[in-house]
Amino acid sequence: MAELNLRAGWRARCAAATMCAAATLACAAPKVEDTMAQRVQACTGCHGPQGRAASDGYYPRIAGKPAGYLYNQLVSFRDGRRQYALMTNLLAPLSDAYLREIAEHFANLEIPYPPAQAATGSVDALSRGEALVLRGDAALKIPACVQCHGSALMGVAPAVPALIGMPRDYLNAQLGAWRTGTRHANAPDCMAQIAQRLAPADISALSQWLGAQRVASNAKPATQLPEPLPMPCGGVPDGPAK
Is residue 8 assigned to a domain?
no
- Of 78, 51, 77, 45, the residue nearest 64 (C-alpha): 51
CATH number of the structural domain spanning residue 202: 1.10.760.10
- Asked whether the beta carbons of 132 and 206 are under 8 A apart, the reply is yes
Buried b (16+ CB within 10 A) or exposed e, 31-48: eeeeeeeeebeebbebbb
Q: Do 223 and 132 belong to one domain? A: yes
Spatial separation of the C-alpha atoms in residues 45 and 157, rounded to whole Å: 26
* Phi, psi angles (nearest 5°) of residue 230: -75, -15
The reported pLDDT for the residue numbered 27 is: 60
Q: Are 207 and 194 in a shared domain?
A: yes
Q: Is residue 201 part of a domain?
A: yes
Residues 198 and 138 in one domain: yes
**Co-location of 171 and 182 in the same domain:** yes
- Alpha carbon 127 to its chain centroid, in Å, reads 27
Residues making up the chain, counted from first to last: 242
Cα(204)–Cα(127) distance, integer angstroms: 12
In this structure, the answer to whether residues 139 and 191 fall within a common structural domain is yes
Domain boundary (58, 87, 111) is at 111
Cis peptide leading into 188, omega within 30 of 0? yes
Nearest alpha-carbon partner for 125 in 199, 201, 185, 70: 201
Q: Could you give the CA distance from residue 8 to residue 10 in angstroms, rounded to a whole number?
A: 5
* Long-range pairs of 173-182 with CB within 8 A, sequence gap ≥ 24: 173/58, 175/203, 175/206, 175/207, 176/200, 176/203, 179/203, 182/83
Residues 93 and 121 in one domain: no
Number of domains in the chain: 2
What's the pLDDT score for residue 28?
65
pLDDT of 206: 97
Q: Is 114 exposed, middle or buried, given 0-12, 13-18 or 19+ CB atoms closer than 10 A? A: middle
Residue 24: inside a domain: no
Q: Is residue 95 part of a domain?
A: yes
Does a structural domain hold residue 16? no
| Buried-state track 49-74, b at ≥16 Cβ within 10 A, e below 16 | ebbbbbeebebbbbbbbbbbbbbbbb
Q: pLDDT tens digits for the chain (242 residues)?
A: 433 343 344 344 445 444 544 555 456 666 767 899 999 998 998 998 999 887 777 888 999 999 999 999 999 999 999 989 999 999 999 999 999 999 999 999 999 998 999 998 899 999 999 999 999 999 999 999 999 999 999 999 999 999 999 889 999 999 999 999 999 998 999 999 999 999 999 999 999 999 999 999 889 999 998 889 999 999 887 655 43
Do residues 142 and 187 share a domain?
yes
Residue 193 lies in a domain: yes
Q: How many helices (H) and strands (E) does the chain have?
A: 11, 0
> Could you tell me if 83 and 167 are in contact, meaning their C-beta atoms sit under 8 angstroms apart?
no
- Residue 26 inside a domain? The answer is no
Where in the sequence is the domain holding 236, given as residue range(s)?
113-242
Task: Tell me, yes or no, whether 166 and 60 share the same domain.
Answer: no
pLDDT at position 229, please?
Answer: 93
Per-residue pLDDT at 104 = 97
Q: Which of 66, 86, 111 is the last residue of a domain?
A: 111
Domain stops at, among 111, 132, 149 = 111
Q: Are residues 126 and 222 in the same domain?
A: yes
Question: Collapsing DSSP states into helix, strand and coil, what is residue 137?
Answer: strand
Asked whether the whole model's pTM tops 0.85, one would answer no
Quick check: is 56 in a domain?
Answer: yes
